[in-house]
């Protein structure tokens, strides 16, 4: 049997605090709960996943660079770095894999400083406002992308 395509799921600063952090905005699920659901969903879709979180921009840049030649796509919730990090933007652009941007909250309903994303210009699409479920929606979309089905 052919090896399952690998999708790297990257989570940025403070997402390790999910479950206790601003529950009204981010919900009650922990990052471990989200990872568990993502693993189940990926299995059904025939995808392998690597699920990671870091509070450090440089570590995230390193992971993006290392995805080259190893992964078929990336699902990225860069947390607050979404709104600030040209380094993450450049790394995603350099690696050139399909990217789906995810946010638990609807960033466009929130403060103006969250309306700008440095990830969106290098992402195939954005899923935001659906809580932890957004990761499963992104995996479904990624399964089609890596199968070469595009948006049709």
Nearer to ligand DQA, 89 or 103 (CB): 103
Task: Please list every residue from 21 through 80 that binds ligand DQA, using CB under 6 A.
Answer: 77, 79-80
Nearer to ligand DQA, 54 or 77 (CB): 77
CB of 119 to ligand DQA, least distance (A): 9
Q: What b/e readout covers 136-145, taking b as 16+ CB neighbours within 10 angstroms?
A: bbbbbbbbeb
9 backbone dihedrals φ, ψ, rounded to 5°: -110, 115
105 binds ligand DQA (CB under 6 A): yes
- Residue in 34, 41, 76, 104 binding ligand DQA, rule: CB under 6 A: 104
Q: Say whether 89 is catalytic.
A: no
Measure the CA dihedral 26/29/30/34, to 10°: -100
Strands (DSSP E) found in the chain: 6-11, 48-53, 73-77, 99-103, 125-128
Nearer to ligand DQA, 48 or 130 (CB): 130
Q: Cβ(57)–Cβ(88) under 8 Å? A: yes
30 backbone dihedrals φ, ψ, rounded to 5°: -85, 170
Q: Say whether 118 is catalytic.
A: no
107 binds ligand DQA (CB under 6 A): yes
Active-site positions? 26, 103
Contact footprint for ligand DQA (CB under 6 A): 14, 77, 79-80, 82, 103-105, 107, 114
């Amino acid at each position: 049997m052919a090896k399952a395509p690998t999708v790297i799921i990257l989570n940025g600063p403070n997402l390790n605090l999910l479950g206790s952090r601003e529950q009204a905005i981010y919900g009650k699920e922990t990052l471990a709960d989200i990872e568990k659901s993502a693993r189940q969903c990926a299995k059904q879709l025939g995808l392998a996943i690597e699920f990671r979180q870091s509070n450090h921009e440089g570590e995230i840049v390193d992971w993006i660079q290392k995805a080259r030649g190893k992964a078929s796509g990336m699902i990225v919730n860069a947390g607050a770095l979404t709104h600030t990090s040209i380094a993450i933007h450049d790394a995603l652009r350099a690696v050139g894999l399909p990217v789906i941007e995810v946010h638990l909250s609807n960033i466009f309903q929130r403060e103006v400083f969250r309306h700008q994303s440095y990830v969106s210009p290098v992402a195939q699409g954005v899923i935001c406002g659906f809580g932890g479920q957004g990761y499963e929606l992104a995996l479904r979309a990624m399964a089609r992308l890596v199968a070469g089905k595009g948006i049709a």
